[in-house]
Amino acid sequence: MGNSGTLRTGIIGASGYTGVELLRLLASHPVLDVVYATGDTQAGTLASSLYPSLAAAYPSLVFAEYDPVQAAKCDVLFLGLPHEASMALVPQLIDKVRLIVDLSAAYRLVDSSQYPQWYGFTHDQPEVLKRAVYGLPELYRSALAGASLIATPGCYVTAASLALAPLVRAGVIDPSSVIVDAASGVSGAGRTPKLNTHFNTVDEDFTAYGLLDHRHTPEIEQVTGAKVLFTPHLAPMNRGILATCYAKPAAGTKPTSQSVLAVLAKFYNSEPFVVVRPASPSTKATLGSNAAHLTARFDERTGTVMALCALDNLTKGAAGGAVQAANVALGITETTGLSAVGVYP
């Protein structure tokens, strides 16, 4: 650990699903060297005991208790914490380390007045919030360069925004009434056992939740510039998100399936982690990768534009997207430590 040319990297809250995904990805990252990993609920536990998948890369890593002195010795910190826990730590650390990458929603919303309604807490750090850069390189790459605080997007938001933002920006769709139906694997609910994510509850079931008030709604609207009705669904699979987005065409436009697909293809032409194809995207095709797969159609019969995006909620939708954004901020080649190829079958 701590080789020359590497950056001392800490993961605060490494024992959750995003934490273990970060550990998996950073095990093969040549620059971001994990020297500190906390997991207060699992402090003192050998990481490979909780997650045997880490045994080869981290045979002696023990989850530590959080120590601000140890955290401040790092160059880069990833925070895999609840929203308010991140809010408590970031102001203490932001000027002591080179980069903080927060995977909670604590710094995602530009308008702090939205936090009480959507998240149930008051955001009392307007100056720190202004310093946060939204961590979706495909849409915010120039702002990410040199950032000191990155707000990693929500998993659903990544999928919906990648599908919709190019169409809004190109003036192809009417942004006043967009519908997003998206389904997620159960890992999106986190590692903590809950009745609604119990095997017997989830298996052989498919259900919508967060009707009309899911907290990712204002974030999707902020990123896309559209007014969105968002309905998330829980699917009986471990990982993956499939977002199906519907919108009416902008006034005066005459889109076709070919033209809306071409807008996406042109927008993402040079993006290493976005695949645009005529085929309907599949969550399994993205498994374990940092890739997002997209397609689009125009239905002449109903006059509706449809855009779809599939991705792995823990990789591109969380830890992988965080590493990608960190690479951009630190001036590291953006694809470092990440794969665009999924695990199949």
What's the 3-state SS for 129-143?
HHHEEECCHHHHHHH
d(CA 187, CA 17): 7
DSSP secondary structure of 53-100: GGTTT-TT-BPBPP-HHHHHT-SEEEE-S-HHHHHHHHHHHTTTSSEE
End-to-end CA distance of the chain: 34
Torsion of Cα atoms, 265 then 294 then 228 then 203, to 10°: 180
313-344: burial string, b at 16+ Cβ within 10 Å, e else:
bbbbbbbbbbbbbbbbbbebebebbbbbebee
What are the structure tokens assigned to 251, written together?
């006034």
- For 272, phi then psi, to 5°, come to -70, -20
Q: Among 340, 279, 267, 271, which Cα is nearest to 308's?
A: 279
What are the structure tokens assigned to 200, written together?
């017997």
Q: Among 61, 20, 63, 24, which Cα is nearest to 45's?
A: 63
Q: Among 254, 259, 258, 233, which Cα is nearest to 244's?
A: 233
d(CA 277, CA 40): 43
- Bridge partner list, 297: 306
Which residues are identified as catalytic?
A: 155
What are the structure tokens assigned to 100, written together?
């903080």
